[in-house]
């Protein structure tokens, strides 16, 4: 079986030939697991799960690790409903779940609270009600100048990052992201980060893209993420995710040795 997979040529998103660009061949590690964002990747623009995405997920025979900015409790609930393992990345890498009995908190909520207080004196920051369920970051409504706030964070030398996922703005500990989360999860699963495929839609997914062996974006993804992708779906949101899985299946990119492990994980979760 060949281990060469196509990489979409980078081009302007507005170019009419963007999705029909010439394909270059790159050597890839066989994929043993997926790291998948939730909002905007498995859902539509209103955060409603796309049926095509669910169908694609249920047909997979490799583990799916949810990797999201959502809170731990939200992500766990989604994993139950989707039938994915209880091993996942929440709060943009701030909280990791290894099982229902073990979570790891890697970030400091206090630095985020301090940054919030300082920024709130200059910007009209409004928390989402879900903030009370968060262990490590603060989720804000997108009603302020995010770029200006990010610059202010740098000027004040605050140990946080401001990230805009298009669904919310997060103040998070700068020491963690989805990439640090993926390293820890991969180590626990005894899989190399390069044996993961990363699928997402926003710049918050870039850290895990830098580690993954295959990077694919849904059609609504940010320009920077599109430019970092090996494959870009023509379809948007959850339909784009389903298209990506079809693409990977057609090219036999999944490591069949992982089948039994994935089925065991699903059985343990039922």
Task: Kindly give the pairing relationship between strand 169-173 and strand 23-27.
Answer: unpaired
Is 37 tagged catalytic?
yes
Name the residue among 184, 199, 213, 264 with its Cα closest to residue 29.
Answer: 213
Listed residue (45, 58, 15) closest to 166, CA to CA: 45
The Cβ of residue 104 has, within 10 Å, a number of other Cβ atoms equal to 13
Q: How far, in Å, CA of 256 to CA of 258, rounded? A: 5
β-sheet bridge partners, residue 214: 197
- 3 state DSSP class of 2: coil
- Exactly one of 37, 173, 205, 230 is catalytic; name it: 37
d(CA 80, CA 77): 5
Measure the CA–CA gap between 69 and 270, rounded to whole angstroms.
25
Q: 198 CB contacts (<8 Å, ≥6 apart)? A: 34, 35, 36, 67, 182, 205, 208, 209, 211, 212, 214, 215, 216
User: Rounded to the nearest 5 degrees, what angle is found at the Cα of 103, between the Cα atoms of 112 and 67?
Assistant: 70
Q: How far apart are the first and last CA of the chain?
A: 33
Active site residues: 37
């Amino acid at each position: 079986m060949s281990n060469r997979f196509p990489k979409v040529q980078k081009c302007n998103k507005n170019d009419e030939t963007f999705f029909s660009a010439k394909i270059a061949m790159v050597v890839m590690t066989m994929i043993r697991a997926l790291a998948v964002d939730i909002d905007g990747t498995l859902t539509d623009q209103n955060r409603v799960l796309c049926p095509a995405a669910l169908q694609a997920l249920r047909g997979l025979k490799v583990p799916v690790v949810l990797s999201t900015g959502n809170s731990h409790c939200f992500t766990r609930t989604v994993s139950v409903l989707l039938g994915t393992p209880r091993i996942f990345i929440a709060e943009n890498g701030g909280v990791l779940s290894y099982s229902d009995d073990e979570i790891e908190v890697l970030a400091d909520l206090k630095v985020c609270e301090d940054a919030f207080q300082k920024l709130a004196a200059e910007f009209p920051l409004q928390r989402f009600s879900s903030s009370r369920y968060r262990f490590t970051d603060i989720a804000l409504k997108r009603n302020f100048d995010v770029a200006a706030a990010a610059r202010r964070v740098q000027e004040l030398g605050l140990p946080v990052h401001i990230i805009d996922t298009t669904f919310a703005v997060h103040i998070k500990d700068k020491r963690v992201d989805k990439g640090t989360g993926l390293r820890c999860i991969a180590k626990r699963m005894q899989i190399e980060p390069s044996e993961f495929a990363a699928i997402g839609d926003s710049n918050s997914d870039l850290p895990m893209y830098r580690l993954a062996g295959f990077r694919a974006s849904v059609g609504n993804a940010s320009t920077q993420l599109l430019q970092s992708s090996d494959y870009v779906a023509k379809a948007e949101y959850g339909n784009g995710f389903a298209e990506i899985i079809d693409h990977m299946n057609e090219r036999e990119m999944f490591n069949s040795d992982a089948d039994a492990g994935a089925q065991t994980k699903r059985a343990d979760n039922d």
